Amino acid sequence: ATPMFDGRAVCYPSDTALRDYLAWRQTDTHINNQYNTCFWALVQQGGCSPAAAQEALKGTDAAAKNELLYSRFGINYNELPEQFKKGSVVLRQRQDVVAKEAGADGGAPVVRSR
């Protein structure tokens, strides 16, 4: 399967609400990544059909998924790169930049927030 990008533009009323949202998304990313890592190991390396892999994972908790990865495929989930386990976040920060330098005639530089 081709990797996908899940991008969202969100405006939250406070930093606290934003932190709570990002913490929830990070946890959700971890849960989804752990399931998908197991699913595709079962399909690609274990020879399972997608339906059989889904059935094998039904009702399993995190510890069972970690054990499955390690015992059957030699994958230590805790050693996978953090960006895959917890996702990535891009934040935009405002910064003042000089849009136009001071003129030779003594005019002031033009500063804009971007």
Beta strands in the chain (DSSP E): 96-100, 110-113
pLDDT at 22: 86
pLDDT tens digits in sequence order for the chain, 114 residues long: 677 777 778 789 999 998 998 889 888 889 999 999 999 999 999 999 999 999 999 999 999 999 999 999 999 999 998 888 877 777 778 899 988 888 777 788 889 988
Q: DSSP assignment of 6-33, as one string?
A: -------SSHHHHHHHHHHHHHHHHHHH
pLDDT at 66: 96
The residues spanned by each domain of the chain are 15-87
Q: What is the pLDDT of residues 35-66, one digit of tens each?
A: 999 999 999 999 999 999 999 999 999 999 99
The SS3 call for residue 81 is: coil
Residue type for position 80: L
Assessment of whether the complete model's pTM goes beyond 0.85:
no
